[in-house]
Amino acid sequence: MSTRKAKTKNEASSSRGGVGGESVVADCGRNKSTCGYCKSSTRSSISHGLWTERLTVNDYQALLDRGWRRSGCFLYKPEMDKTCCPSYTIRLKASDFVPSKEQQRVRRRLERFLDGEIDAKPSEQTEYQDVSFSREVSGSVRKSLGAAKREQNNEVEPIMKDLAEQIDNAVQRCIQSGEFPSNIQIPKASVKRVLSAKRKKLAEGSEELLYTSNIAFPIVAAIKRTETSEKGKNVEENRLSPEAVSEKLLIAMNKVEEFTGFSVKVSKGHINFLSATGVTSSDRNEGEESLCATTTKSSSNKLRARKRKLEMHLKRSSFDPEEYELYKRYQLKVHNDKPESISETSYKRFLVDTPLIEVPPSGYDDEEKLPPCGFGSFHQQYRVDDRLIAVGVIDILPNCLSSKYLFWDPDFASLSLGNYSALQEIDWVKQNQAHCATLEYYYLGYYIHSCNKMRYKAAYRPSQLLCPLRYQWVPFEVAKPLLDKKPYSVLSNFTKDSLSSSSPKAYETIVQSTREHEDMEQGETNDDDGDEMYNSDEDSDSSRNRNDIANILISLDGPRLRYKDIPRIKNPVVQKQLESMLINYRKVVGTELLERMVYELR
């Protein structure tokens, strides 16, 4: 799809839809399908669809604020009172965002990974995402604090691998020198982090005991097994004990302290690695995490070389073979898609193709109103040491960053990249407000209260949900009690008195939102809850309906005409069908957009 250059200020102001030209849409009408959320066997998911290959960023922003989303060039809006799983648009004002403890842990975990303190690992409990926000979440099941601590203690740090390798090398030197039998099978050494509660029991003095290995015990057991099956063992071998084995290994490892910055001692058959700084754990409330940071900073050049570099690259939406290969791995391993269901064509249609007319940062007079990257569709790449580990598909619009999808390397599941990238995108909005004052919000896609996999979105606080009837933004804490009662609710139906007394801040937000929508037509804001969108209108209403659709801008194979300027169709059946389509179109896009976007008759 070719992109259009941004117009100058005068040209843009005269064009429909604001910056970047005009929007052209084709009406696909109502669509029914099976639901991926409730797994209904019937076609219970109901939405209205539009197809477009040209859409201005201003018009898409307005559509988002009426409950629309896009998948490639296809726009869709759930029929909220009819669909099985009502999907509410959810957003967050970036400047008001307060990260939770779990979200702060996500940042710290990735920082520890970059510092070389922990390794990434795949996880059976991978993170999920939906097509709209499609932001995978750090585990659908929240672990208790105790379970999280146990998981942290079991993490294998790179330094532990280094120390185990040093012990294995020492074992081989002892075998080569004849101190250990050459015909025994010895397991690989393992090094464990020492918990704070056990440090005093395993070490003496003021040095901090960090890691320990009990490899001497399996070595002694292996030697004894060999003795029972063979004869002629000498006295020295028969006298070997865990204490003697650990002493021999210590002698063979006499350069370890210089290499790693640790003090190495043996005690009761254990090989212990102590900090050379003499810092004790009594001064720490969270000894494990702080200890890792101290150890990393004081380690040798080899350990520092294990530090990783994270880079983020924002690029215009385009096909990238490396991204496509990552997408395939993600879909196969995380979503268990069948290989035959994944193709380059479907990938492009879903995550590469975009109808948004690009607005570059240069070539437009009001550059102070644009972020440095401009507006449009983008792919945000996350690379660690130049390895692509995640790609976020986003739209950057005049008022928001809208997150569409994220796919990541399954080998890095433990890093909660979905949560981390969401935090990065929120930070991006905050930073770019300096360039574009209207860029205030982070849109997380759809929120489905009845779907447990969606609940994490509400953890980004303070969030707002879009009322499906009046298109006002309602604080989540106000909407939640209504959604607890039933999946579909007119969120702006609240009692002002009770709200103002129970939640003054939420009340002020509602009042402000109401003021912003006071200019909305009564016909749009006061529709009956139970109106059938696709019912034929009564004859008494036909005149009013024709007035409502009179200003729709229609494309007839080139020329653009307002509906009121098109000669009346002689065939009354065709005329009624066309007017019914246009009335439904008006209901889903609103008066402002129907006058601005071009309605293409195909």
CA–CA separation, 143 and 158 (whole Å): 25
| Average pLDDT rounded to a whole number, residues 248-271 | 76
Tokens of 406: 């994220």
pLDDT of amino acid 101: 94
CA–CA separation, 583 and 599 (whole Å): 12
Question: Which range among 106-110, 281-285, 291-295 has the greatest average pLDDT?
Answer: 106-110
CA–CA separation, 596 and 18 (whole Å): 9
CA–CA separation, 84 and 45 (whole Å): 6
| Average pLDDT rounded to a whole number, residues 376-399 | 97
**CA angle in degrees (0–180, nearest 5) for 503-507-508:** 120
pLDDT tens digits for range 459-508 = 999 999 999 999 999 999 999 999 999 999 999 987 444 455 445 555 45
Query: Mean pLDDT over all residues of the chain?
Result: 79
| Average pLDDT rounded to a whole number, residues 170-182 | 85
**CA angle in degrees (0–180, nearest 5) for 484-523-474:** 30
| Average pLDDT rounded to a whole number, residues 522-528 | 40
pLDDT of amino acid 229: 64
- Can you point out the beta strands (E) in 268-399? 270-275, 310-316, 376-384, 387-396
Residue 196 falls in which region: left (phi positive, over 0), alpha (psi -120 to 50) or beta: alpha
pLDDT of amino acid 184: 80
Question: Which range among 118-127, 153-162, 179-188 has the greatest average pLDDT?
Answer: 179-188
pLDDT of amino acid 179: 85
Q: Which amino acid does the sequence have at 583?
A: I
pLDDT tens digits for range 197-225 = 555 555 555 567 888 999 999 998 888 87
- Please give the span between the terminal C-alpha atoms of the chain, in angstroms, as a whole number: 20
Residue 426 predicted with pLDDT over 90: yes
| Average pLDDT rounded to a whole number, residues 293-310 | 54
pLDDT of amino acid 40: 87
User: Hey, where are the domains in the chain?
Assistant: 24-84+543-600, 89-121+310-498, 158-196+208-223+241-275
Tokens of 455: 């609940």
For strands 560-562 and 69-71, give the pairing: unpaired
| Average pLDDT rounded to a whole number, residues 320-332 | 97
Q: Is residue 46 within 8 Å of 82, Cβ to Cβ? A: yes
CA–CA separation, 424 and 520 (whole Å): 35
Residue 129 predicted with pLDDT over 60: no
Residue 350 predicted with pLDDT over 60: yes
pLDDT of amino acid 202: 52
pLDDT of amino acid 461: 95
Range of weakest confidence among 451-465, 504-518, 521-535: 521-535
Tokens of 408: 């990541």
- Can you point out the beta strands (E) in 157-260? 192-193, 209-213
| Average pLDDT rounded to a whole number, residues 258-263 | 61
Residue 143 predicted with pLDDT over 80: no
313: β partners: 381
pLDDT of amino acid 130: 41
The percent of residues above 90 in pLDDT, for the chain, comes to: 51
Residue 120 predicted with pLDDT over 70: yes
Which residue did the predictor score with more confidence, 342 or 144? Answer: 342
Burial degree of 104 (CB within 10 A; 0-12, 13-18, 19+): exposed
pLDDT of amino acid 417: 97
Check residue 80 and report its DSSP letter. T
pLDDT of amino acid 380: 98
Which residue has tokens 């953890």? Answer: 459
Which residue did the predictor score with more confidence, 128 or 179? Answer: 179
Tally helices (H) and strands (E) across the chain.
22, 19
The pLDDT-based confidence of 367 (bands split at 50, 70, 90) is low
| Average pLDDT rounded to a whole number, residues 110-125 | 82
Coil vs helix vs strand at 7: coil
Residue 584 predicted with pLDDT over 60: yes
The percent of residues above 70 in pLDDT, for the chain, comes to: 71
Q: In this structure, which topology does domain 158-196+208-223+241-275 adopt according to CATH?
A: Gyrase A; domain 2 (3.30.1360)
Question: Which range among 147-151, 239-243, 252-256, 579-583 has the greatest average pLDDT?
Answer: 579-583
The pLDDT-based confidence of 562 (bands split at 50, 70, 90) is very high
| Average pLDDT rounded to a whole number, residues 275-294 | 41
pLDDT of amino acid 197: 56
With CA atoms as reference, report the closest residue to 458 among 131, 88, 145, 106: 88
Check residue 339 and report its DSSP letter. G
| Average pLDDT rounded to a whole number, residues 172-196 | 83
| Average pLDDT rounded to a whole number, residues 526-547 | 50
pLDDT of amino acid 210: 84
Q: Is residue 478 within 8 Å of 499, Cβ to Cβ? A: yes
pLDDT tens digits for range 85-96 = 999 999 999 999
pLDDT tens digits for range 352-361 = 999 999 999 8
pLDDT of amino acid 185: 80
Tokens of 118: 């922990």
